[in-house]
Amino acid sequence: MADERIRVAVLGAAGRMGATVCRAVLDAPDMELVAVVDPPHEGRPLDDFGVAGTGLTLSMLGPSVKAAEPSVAVDFTHVDAARGNLRWCGLNGVHAVVGTTGLTGDDFSDLSALFDGERANAVVAPNFAIGAVLMMHLAALAAPWFESAEIIELHHDNKLDAPSGTAMLTAQRMAEASGEWAPDPTKTYALPGARGGEGPAGIHVHSVRLRGLVAHQEVLLGTTGQSLSIRHDSYDRTSFMPGVLLAVREVANRPGLTIGLDTLLGFGAT
Ligand code: NAD
């Protein structure tokens, strides 16, 4: 009987996320890891990066990867590398699942042309943690029923940017769901910045950086006599894997370019 497992290539396989994806693919009974790409580490065995026993060697993206016949490539690299990698996937008829962050509006226009549903499809998600996607969806759903909201995002102390992309996207989704937010009452500041940054629709976003944390976010919503807190915690990189594997399984059935996991989870944008 033919092997019907999904043939997966991992791009950025020596990286923190890439190596975690390799392990998740190896553990998935319906998937086969057929190629691992990481040019800065070309020629080294995948074993050197904590994924033992596959016999796979890190390579460039090119004829040897094509010969391995992947049907899906998962990219967790850096934005400049991802642009070239995705072009290769689109032109070679390989579906792409993309977790790399930092792609711009222009990139998304290019990707819609490249992944036109004819040769290949792509799923791009800035956050593959299913709980985080649900948190954003629930926050947008709740927004019209509350007059005030604040977002607190908390991350490890190596994070260089603030606020997180997820916090900004949450604020944007809430602002799209409701324009009726009470004005900020604060008139004087004993400490500049005490009220955090003002995001879309004036929603305040606070960034906490603390050693020992991974990635966390709480959305607080308030109205007369009650409040609602929606919190998500990622404790390690495995939190992203169910979402990545879902996208690997689904990408062939989603013509063109899909942004975010919402439709894959069965709910459209709020
Ligand atoms: P990392 O630096 O540990 O890994 C990146 C890897 O890509 C490195 O091994 C590097 O050598 C390799 N690389 C460089 N150029 C390449 C190329 N042309 N082709 C293939 N590989 C190449 O980074 P990381 O922590 O694993 O994060 C990777 C990306 O994933 C970042 O953009 C990060 O923001 C993003 N991320 C996304 C999610 C999500 O849910 N979408 C979650 C976590 C991290």
The per-residue pLDDT for 106 is 93
Quote the CA–CA distance of 24 and 62 in Å, as a whole number: 24
Give yes or no for residue 205 having a pLDDT over 80: yes
Mean pLDDT of all residues in 17-39? 98
89-109 per-position pLDDT tens digit:
999 999 999 999 888 889 999
Instruction: Give CA separation, 174 vs 22, 171, 221, 255, in Å.
Output: 35, 5, 11, 28
Angle at 247 between CA 242 and CA 250, to 5 degrees: 125
| 140 alpha carbon – ligand 1 mean position (Å) | 29
Residue nearest to atom 9 of ligand 1 (CA): 15
Instruction: Give CA separation, 5 vs 14, 21, 266, in Å.
Output: 23, 16, 24
Give yes or no for residue 135 having a pLDDT over 70: yes
Query: What atom of ligand 1 comes closest to residue 17's alpha carbon?
Result: 26
Structure tokens at 22: 């390799």
Query: What atom of ligand 1 comes closest to residue 49's alpha carbon?
Result: 9
pLDDT > 70: what percent of the chain?
99
Ligand 1: residue of 57, 58, 59, 78 to mutate (most ligand atoms within 8 A of CB) is 78
Q: Which residues are catalytic?
A: 155, 159
Instruction: Give CA separation, 252 vs 95, 113, 164, 172, 238, in Å.
Output: 7, 17, 30, 29, 23
Q: Which residues pair with 37 in a beta bridge?
A: 11, 59
The mean-pLDDT minimum among 111-125, 152-166, 226-240 falls in 152-166
Mean pLDDT of all residues in 7-32? 97
Give yes or no for residue 270 having a pLDDT over 70: no
| 59 alpha carbon – ligand 1 mean position (Å) | 15
- Phi and psi torsions of 230, nearest 5°: -120, 120
The per-residue pLDDT for 269 is 53
The per-residue pLDDT for 45 is 98
Query: What atom of ligand 1 comes closest to residue 13's alpha carbon?
Result: 9
Question: Which residues sit with their C-beta closer than 6 Å to ligand 1?
Answer: 11-12, 14-18, 37-40, 76-78, 81, 85, 99-101, 125-128, 240
The per-residue pLDDT for 1 is 62
| 269 alpha carbon – ligand 1 mean position (Å) | 27
Average pLDDT, the chain: 95
| 98 alpha carbon – ligand 1 mean position (Å) | 10
Query: What atom of ligand 1 comes closest to residue 14's alpha carbon?
Result: 9
Ligand 1: residue of 51, 80, 101, 107 to mutate (most ligand atoms within 8 A of CB) is 101
The per-residue pLDDT for 209 is 97
Is 120 exposed, middle or buried, given 0-12, 13-18 or 19+ CB atoms closer than 10 A? buried
- Verify cis geometry, omega within 30 degrees of 0, for the bond prior to 163: yes
Mean pLDDT of all residues in 69-86? 97
Coil/strand/helix, residue 233: strand
What end-to-end distance do the CA atoms of the chain give, in Å? 44
The more confidently predicted of residues 23 and 160 is 23
Mean pLDDT of all residues in 102-125? 93
Give yes or no for residue 121 having a pLDDT over 80: yes
Mean pLDDT of all residues in 201-224? 96
pLDDT > 90: what percent of the chain?
89
137-183 per-position pLDDT tens digit:
999 999 999 999 999 999 999 888 889 889 998 999 999 999 999 99
The per-residue pLDDT for 159 is 84
Mean pLDDT of all residues in 53-65? 97
Mean pLDDT of all residues in 186-199? 96
| 188 alpha carbon – ligand 1 mean position (Å) | 43
Mean pLDDT of all residues in 41-54? 97
